[in-house]
Amino acid sequence: MSASPAPAMENVAARPDIREKVTGHARYTVDKQPRGMVWARYLRFPYGAGRIAGFNIDAARAVPGVLEVSVRADHPPRCAGDVIGEMVAESPAALDDGLAALRLQCRPGQPTTNPDDAHAGVPPPNDEEAATLKSIFADATVTVEAEYRTAVQTHSCFEPHAVTAIPQDNGDLEVAVSTQSLMSCQEQSARAADLPASRVRVKAEYVGGGFGSKFGIGAEGNLAIKWARELKRPCRVALSRQEEHEMGGNRPGSIQYYHLAAAADGRLLGGRMHLVSVVGHTGRGGGVRAPSYYRWGEIVRTDDQIALNSGLPRAFRAPAWPQASFAMESVLDELAARLGMDPVEFRIRNETSERRQRQLRQGAELIGWNERPPDGTMTGVVKTGWGCGVASWGNSQGRCAVDLDVYPSGHLEVRIGIQDMGTGATVLAVDVAAWHLGLDRKWITGKIGVSDYPPGPASGGSITSRFTAPAVRDAAEKAVTALKARIAAEWELAPNDVTYAQGVFRAADGRERSWVEACRTITDGKINVRGEFNDRYWGHGNSDTAQFAKVDVDTETGLIRVRKIVAIQACGLAVNRLTAENQIEGGVIQGMSYALFEDRRLDGPTGAQYNADLLQYKISGIGDLPEIVAIIDRDEEEDGVRSLGEPTTIPTAGAIANAVANAIGARVRELPITPARVLAALEERGSA
Amino acid sequence: MTAPGRDPVPAPAAKSAQFSSTRRQFLRGLGLVGAASVCPPLTTAATANPANAKPSHPDLEEYGRDPQPVILQINGQTHTVSVAPRDTLLDVLRHQLNLTGTKSICEHGACGGCSVLWDGRAVPTCLCLAREAAGHEILTVEGIADDPRFAPLIEAFCAHDAAQCGFCIPGFVVRAAELFLQGERMSTEEVQIALSGNLCRCGTHAKIVTAVTAALSAGAIA
């Protein structure tokens, strides 16, 4: 009796832990509530600048349930949300009561909240730059000189940053963290607790969202571990929704100046880029990844950062790329329009990648590009437009270690010290092993999210799948080798004379043993093997993508309705088709949200974020869902797993912006593209 | 003048308008008698010493700020929990009953993540006082998952990989369960509008809509 045939890579079963999530049984960090747990939070300054004018610490301490509270003012507040103290209490209600009793009074100062107040404008080129630009523009048939802006975007993870620190009876420490970096959290927790790392266990079996802001235990972890140690009780710290917006990290805004030229034959000639990031109070952490993807010609480029009295940036899914892509894809369409060239042909003309050229042609066909009229020429109140953009992502190698146990029953357990904040990383443990062992998934249990497991990569840079898959494959092959040795011994053959394929061990003389039968040779409890870094499964080449958008724009209300997005994404071998589609669709929806809705708004006089919630900080809703055609672009020669999570969200905003401009014959050069901005652009065009 | 075959971007359909006005009526029907019952309590003489407070209306029930035992019907079981007037149903479910499937996400009733079925209607528990749940049938995501009537719905979410981080999914399951109980077959567009009260950050929108549409067309409870 043999095990059933192996599912192929691009398995279409859902992620192995889907049921726990759907049934509400998955326990996230904020769901872990050991007996006796205390709750701690930071006290925060409410304005972008100013001073503390008064507070009543004794009244706060006297509130039933408040265990300790302190206010400190070692530096002037720098942003709304800046830490000015801490409180620990028996319950969230006691924390609220303590805060009320504290009667914290603050006076706002003069925060910098408007980028234009701090923007020095585009610096004049120096003599050498000026000479370069002069020669570039001398050959120009057309030029575009424009400024593009993008808003600050907050990560808005649905599970907030949270840590539950749980002291153990023997002095060890268990720490639950909502994190993208399981292994670094162990190291940091140990330092915070002044314990050897071997006495600290970090658990992150389920993580409620992480797009780059959840690396390390953070200030929340330091606070939770501090009070857990001091009170010898479990301690939970979880940010509120307001704290998430203000202090949970953000994608910087941008002010991007482009003055670019093209020749009559469609060649990009180059020009000037001045790229400014709008960041938080440190004045650092920004960046705009221009130029890229196309042959831009010679570029004179300068960069700057503008500091606002606001929360600091944290890496956000493809950091620095979506800002650049929106502007660059917009500029390309503007140049193409001036040349009278089709935007797809213009891109193909200047593309550096054959694959993206092919994806552009394929996407154009799938979106119905031949229906696209010249900009703004469609009649009627509701006008349809088409736009596109490209992106790419690199594929370096990196380490991961995997434990694999094989039991006499034929079952396997795969353990990896990685984490899953929505990517479906458990498929790496289960589906890669299933594929290489030729076994049905039901034989394999995948476990992740505990720091006891062998070290795996943090989930950033779209590395998790491409670092982990080779190690799982290695472990599977070692398991086969171990069993081959036992069968060979029984058959009195050399191990090399035994072959294994699709769940069956075979000898040349026709003898056979199924996987399950072979496992009965395991007489010492289990076989354990360790999978390691190796060169196989190495997915050469980039993860290229082209995306096309089709939108309807109501020219009376300014409302935009994205009708369809075609997203063609190369990612090597997709370990699992459904989870890969979810990554593509998820990136597209976040890109659409960035293009049309998200905007961190600061109150001018006080510097508070006045939309620090999920009602007025708008993200893509279910009603906004377009038809998404997600295509896993794979060559027959593909033999490795490549990056996937980040390239999917880079070109969407540019494609949508271009589609809107095509529809209405006017260009909105600022994200989010709101109805008000659409109407303003139409009005400006009408009066031109 | 509209081009042939093109409608302006549609206004929210009648169904969603019905839903939101019904939800307002529902909250009025709960008897939340204004701001006083939802503000954090102030330490005033009246509330600190309930014996001195004069009832302002014969139909009003008055009690102090301290926790008192309340009997709740959750997932078909009776629970006696200690509830302070300001405790939300979300607080009680998560912290006292250890039913952590219902999530706290936006704290303002804007995202649907804290939803349960309250006498068959999806409500945001972050905006419901726990006390008011007495006498009503509360069904959380855990109860829905355990109830064989909703098996086609649970299976549809599982089969379509309708979850990424999963934090929003219990709220969607609850709202979908409400639609499931209503027993109507719904098109994809109608499902999209009906689910518009629930937010998802990871962008699982397409798979959620696919799963719910499939469940409603296959096995909705008539």
Task: For chain B, list the domains and their CATH numbers.
Answer: 145-219 (1.10.150.120)
Place B2 in a pLDDT band, splitting at 50, 70 and 90: very low
B205, B207, B208, B210, best to mutate vs chain A, most A CBs in 10 Å: B205
Nearest CA in chain A to B205: A622
- CATH 3.30.365.10 residue ranges for chain A: 18-25+396-531, 121-150+253-312+320-350, 156-252, 353-394+542-688
Pull the structure tokens for residue A594.
Answer: 């960035």
In this predicted structure, the answer to whether residue B25 has a pLDDT above a threshold of 70 is no
Which pLDDT value is given to residue B50? 47
Of A24, A100, A210, the CB nearest to B141: A24
Hey, are the CB atoms on A21 and B163 less than 8 Å from each other?
yes
This complex has an ipTM of 0.96
CA angle at residue A570 from A564 to A574, to 5 degrees? 100
Place B6 in a pLDDT band, splitting at 50, 70 and 90: very low
**B91: number of CA atoms within 13 Å, CB side?**
17
Alpha helix (H) ranges present in A561-638?
Answer: 577-596
Tell whether the torsion through CA atoms of A568, A572, A577 and A580 is positive or negative.
negative
The 3 state secondary structure assigned to A18-66 is: HHHHHCCCCCCHHHCCCCCCEEEEEEECCCCCEEEEECCHHHHHHCCCE
Measured CA to CA, the distance from residue A120 to residue B182 in angstroms comes to 60
CA distances from B192 to A564, A622, B11, B17, B199 (A): 15, 6, 14, 14, 12
Which pLDDT value is given to residue B220? 53
Measured CA to CA, the distance from residue B200 to residue B188 in angstroms comes to 17
Instruction: Put residue A187 in one of left, alpha, beta given phi > 0 → left and psi -120 to 50 → alpha.
Output: alpha
AA identity, residue A654: G
CATH superfamily of A32-112: Aldehyde oxidase/xanthine dehydrogenase, a/b hammerhead (3.90.1170.50)
- CATH 3.90.1170.50 residue ranges for chain A: 32-112
A12, A20, A21, best to mutate vs chain B, most B CBs in 10 Å: A21
For chain A, say whether B177 makes contact (Cβ under 8 Å).
Answer: no
For chain A, say whether B213 makes contact (Cβ under 8 Å).
Answer: no
Instruction: Put residue A318 in one of left, alpha, beta given phi > 0 → left and psi -120 to 50 → alpha.
Output: left
Place B21 in a pLDDT band, splitting at 50, 70 and 90: very low
Low-confidence ranges of chain A (pLDDT < 70): 1-8, 539, 687-688
Which element (helix H / strand E) includes B121? strand B121-124
A329-388 confidence digits (pLDDT tens): 999 999 999 999 999 999 999 999 999 999 999 999 999 999 999 999 999 999 999 999
Pull the structure tokens for residue A75.
Answer: 């530096």
First to last CA, chain B: 43
Of A24, A557, A593, the CB nearest to B142: A24
Residues of B in contact with A30 (CB under 8 A): 100, 103-104
Q: Is the bond preceding A672 in cis, omega lying within 30 degrees of 0?
A: yes
Contacts of B58 (CB under 8 A, 6+ apart): none
Pull the structure tokens for residue B169.
Answer: 């999914």
Q: How many helices (H) and strands (E) does chain A have?
A: 17, 26
Going by the DSSP 8-state scheme, the letter that residue B133 receives in this structure is G
Give B 14-73 residues with CB within 8 A of chain A.
40
pTM of the model: 0.92
Measured CA to CA, the distance from residue A445 to residue A411 in angstroms comes to 8
Q: Please, what's the b/e burial string for A21-46 (b: 16 or more CB within 10 A of its CB; e: otherwise)?
A: bbbbbbbbbbbbbeeebbbbbbbbbb
A18-25+396-531: CATH number:
3.30.365.10
Measured CA to CA, the distance from residue A575 to residue A568 in angstroms comes to 17
Coil, helix or strand at residue A237: strand
Using a 10 angstrom Cβ sphere, with 0-12 exposed, 13-18 middle and 19 or more buried, the burial of residue A374 is exposed
CA angle at residue A67 from A63 to A69, to 5 degrees? 80
CA angle at residue A125 from A120 to A129, to 5 degrees? 150
Neighbours of B61 (CB within 10 A): 8
Place B16 in a pLDDT band, splitting at 50, 70 and 90: very low
Measured CA to CA, the distance from residue A163 to residue A35 in angstroms comes to 16
Which pLDDT value is given to residue A181? 98
Place B36 in a pLDDT band, splitting at 50, 70 and 90: very low
Yes or no: is domain A353-394+542-688 CATH 3.90.79.10? no
Nearest CA in chain B to A91: B95
Of B166, B199, B203, the CB nearest to A585: B203
- Topology of the domain covering A121-150+253-312+320-350: Aldehyde Oxidoreductase; domain 4 (3.30.365)
A156-252: CATH number:
3.30.365.10
Which pLDDT value is given to residue B40? 38
Which pLDDT value is given to residue A346? 98
